[in-house]
Homo-oligomer: A and B are copies of this chain.
Amino acid sequence: MTQVRETVSFKAGDVILYPGVPGPRDRAYRVLEGLVRLEAVDEEGNALTLRLVRPGGFFGEEALFGQERIYFAEAATDVRLEPLPENPDPELLKDLAQHLSQGLAEAYRRIERLATQRLKNRMAAALLELSETPLAHEEEGKVVLKATHDELAAAVGSVRETVTKVIGELAREGYIRSGYGKIQLLDLKGLKELAESRGQGR
């Protein structure tokens, strides 16, 4: 017997799920290809990244449990998704629980960074996180990220103007090279050290 796997595709920038109480057509998804960004957006349109969902990961799980969704799910790259059945089998439930457990650990780290780290150190952490997603590729042996300053501001919970300053500082100090809508990571070791420390003056 062959099993046909239902898949759906979205283009980079598409909104996949909106905040609100899940309706009957709402689904939970597993990411097969690409990157999905879960984000909160305030009244002025400023986005804040809540979680990045990479291939193998799940999102939209609140539809399975009748819980309210408090985020937008956006395709950060072109994505291919597998909608989950309404009543997942035990194996799928275990995969989902495992992924949510990992997602919680990532959220805890984000909470810790926001409460204790300076922006420059949070930015180093965000760049390293993005470097392990489909937004990153290699050029001449260096990791290059596709990311605008708005997207970086959303990743660290700040605003573009401030982020532009911090990116400039990281570039002057040789950690990165910043180009139009992309960032080249020059010093991964140095970025890791920044990401693991709190930062000065706090």
A-side residues, CB < 8 A to B, are 38, 40, 42, 48, 50-51, 61-62, 64-65, 67-68, 70-71, 90, 93-94, 96-98, 100-105, 107-112, 114-116, 157-158
| Copy count, this protein chain | 2
Majority DSSP secondary structure for residues of A touching B: helix
Q: Shortest CB–CB separation between residue A95 and chain B, in angstroms?
A: 10
B101, B107, B112: the one within 8 Å of A61 (CB):
B101
A93 proximity list for chain B (CB < 8 A): 90, 93-94, 97
Asked whether A115 lies within 8 Å of B71 as measured between CB atoms, the reply is no
- Complexed CA–CA distance, A129 and B170 (Å): 38
Q: Shortest CB–CB separation between residue A113 and chain B, in angstroms?
A: 9
- For A90, A100, A116, the residue with the greatest tally of chain B CB atoms inside 10 Å of its CB is A100
Asked whether A157 lies within 8 Å of B67 as measured between CB atoms, the reply is no
Q: Shortest CB–CB separation between residue A100 and chain B, in angstroms?
A: 4
Q: Shortest CB–CB separation between residue A80 and chain B, in angstroms?
A: 23
Asked whether B116 lies within 8 Å of A65 as measured between CB atoms, the reply is no
Q: Shortest CB–CB separation between residue A65 and chain B, in angstroms?
A: 4
Asked whether B70 lies within 8 Å of A116 as measured between CB atoms, the reply is no
A94 proximity list for chain B (CB < 8 A): 93
Asked whether B67 lies within 8 Å of A112 as measured between CB atoms, the reply is no
Q: Shortest CB–CB separation between residue A68 and chain B, in angstroms?
A: 8
